A and B are shown apart, each in its own frame.
Chain A
Amino acid sequence: MTFPGFPDATPLAGLGGGVLIGLAATIMLLGVGRIAGVSGIAARATGISKSSLPLSSAWLFLIGLPLGALVVVAISGPVNASFANPAFLAIAGLVVGIGTRLGSGCTSGHGVCGMSRLSPRSLVATATFMATGIATVAVMNAAGLKVLQ
């Protein structure tokens, strides 16, 4: 199914993926009593942050992410993916790591779990990273920087 006016969009797959992410976060919330925030869980797994989440639990969640990707690939075949070159990936990763620690979360913790709870911190955080993300792409496009290989 396509979306009128946007030939490249895949709204049904997007919605389906979103529902799966919502169910995943629901299991985390109602089953375990926690936020499914990937940056926080990654910091916990690597010992960077101290939290009451057991290390083994943090690793189980993180290992699940690529396993889930494999399940989708196994069912629907190879997925599209074009990545930035190594230099851009390294710079972006570094900035994402610093930003998510200072900002206490990323797209999952703030964008999905916090926004749905109407947390003021998450609403402000999400509006902020959306705005700077949009601005970054706009500036890079205006400068003619082709990032993806």
Chain B
Amino acid sequence: MIARQLSILVSGVLFGAGLTLGGMTDPARVRGFLNLFGEWDPTLAFVMGGAVLVMAVAWWFQSRLIQPLFAEGFSLPARRDLTPKLIGGSALFGIGWGVAGLCPGPGIAALVIEPVSAAIFVVAMIAGMFLTSLVERSV
């Protein structure tokens, strides 16, 4: 239990450090990456590439493990269906990402970099999540 909780905290710290080092907590850099038709900044391609490469190795090990090191079993997404909800939701997310140059991880990490701005984004994001679950429950 302690090993599991500790590894989750370490994962969060490494994640936040990686986002900050990679420049993802700077909306100007993120929007620079999305500005493909203007003065494009390729930095985030290196962030994504580095993370995906390391994780590809991790998946290789995962396929050879019966269970994770500090938990009783794997709890991983198994769906493979492409739905309008998946695509529509992702499209909306991309629009929000483009408007302010923030996605959820950097928004939360930036709470210690630019507290007021990051808090506005994070509170609005939680509100959006809450609204979505309200609507989904009522239909």
Give A contacts to B, CB under 8 Å: 3, 6, 8-36, 38-39, 42-43, 46, 48-49, 51-53, 56-57, 60-73, 76, 79-84, 86, 88-104, 106-108, 110-117, 119-121, 124-126, 128-138, 140-141, 147-148
In the bound complex, do residue A32 and residue B110 qualify as a contact, i.e. CB atoms below 8 Å apart? no
The 6 tightest CB contacts between A and B, nearest first, are A64-B12, A97-B128, A17-B22, A18-B50, A22-B54, A68-B16
The smallest beta-carbon distance between B113 and chain A, in angstroms, is: 5
Chain B hits for A71, CB < 8 A: 13, 16-17
The smallest beta-carbon distance between A93 and chain B, in angstroms, is: 3
Chain B hits for A10, CB < 8 A: 23, 43
The residue in chain A whose Cβ has the minimal distance to the Cβ of B107 is A93
Which label, helix, strand, loop or mixed, suits the secondary structure of the A interface? helix
In the bound complex, do residue B93 and residue A69 qualify as a contact, i.e. CB atoms below 8 Å apart? no
Which label, helix, strand, loop or mixed, suits the secondary structure of the B interface? helix
Contact (A38, B104) CB under 8 Å given A128-B90, A133-B97:
yes
